[in-house]
């Protein structure tokens, strides 16, 4: 079982604390993605429970990868298309693969805005694998569902999360944001959310 610092999750890279609130230190077992607190791209703590009721796509992003262009364009495209229905993209910059996210948070934010007009939510740089993996990705990669669990393969791996915070599916980095398999899963998750909210 993964134990998460819900109110003070520290995402560590190279020994430097890049995420977390530094709060009370109380621990509880993480039951969903919504149990975590992370830092946004500006360094402000965000409780992911604030996204309760939304369908989420959690993605580890990178600026200098061969997949960067198609993914940033595609992620922004599907965010624009579905955000009014309660869909959110959560981008987590990570430098774990080929050192393809070398910049700091300020540089990453500027790159995303200037080159791709990114308006979906970006978070502070984290590690998604290894000894310094941040708590959110420790949870995802050790998820009780074997179809979700497993190491992050490369930049732009995608986790689709339902409005209750439970992970619905994992998609390979090679699955483009506009791939019909992923888009269909997003649409189905949004339909289920709408049906439940109307009950």
- The stretches of 20-134 forming alpha helices (DSSP H) are 68-82, 105-116
Q: Which two tokens stand for residue 150?
A: 């497993």
Query: Could you say which of 11, 65, 112, 134 is catalytic?
Result: 65
Q: Residue 112's closest CA among 61, 159, 67, 149?
A: 61
Q: Rounded distance, CA 71 to CA 73, Å?
A: 5
Active-site annotation holds for 112 = no
Q: How far apart are CA 193 and CA 163, in angstroms?
A: 7
Backbone angles phi, psi at 55, to 5 degrees: -90, 130
Catalytic residues: 65
């Amino acid at each position: 079982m993964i134990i998460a610092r819900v109110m003070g999750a520290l995402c560590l890279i190279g020994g430097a604390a890049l995420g977390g609130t530094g709060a009370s230190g109380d621990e509880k077992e993480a039951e969903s993605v919504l149990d975590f607190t992370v830092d946004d791209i500006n360094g402000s703590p965000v409780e992911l429970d604030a996204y309760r009721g939304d369908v989420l796509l959690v993605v580890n992003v990178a600026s200098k990868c061969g997949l960067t262009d198609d993914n940033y364009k595609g992620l922004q495209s599907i965010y624009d298309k579905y955000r009014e229905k309660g869909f959110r993209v959560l981008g987590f910059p990570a430098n774990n693969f080929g050192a393809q996210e070398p910049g700091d948070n300020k540089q990453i934010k500027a790159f995303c805005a200037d080159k791709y007009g990114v308006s979906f939510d970006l978070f502070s740089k984290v590690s998604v694998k290894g000894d310094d993996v941040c708590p959110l990705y420790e949870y995802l990669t050790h998820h009780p569902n074997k179809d979700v669990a497993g190491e992050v393969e490369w930049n732009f791996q995608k986790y689709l999360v339902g409005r209750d915070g439970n992970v619905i599916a994992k998609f390979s980095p090679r699955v483009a944001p506009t791939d019909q398999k992923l888009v269909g899963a997003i649409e189905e998750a949004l339909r289920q959310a709408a049906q439940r909210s109307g009950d």
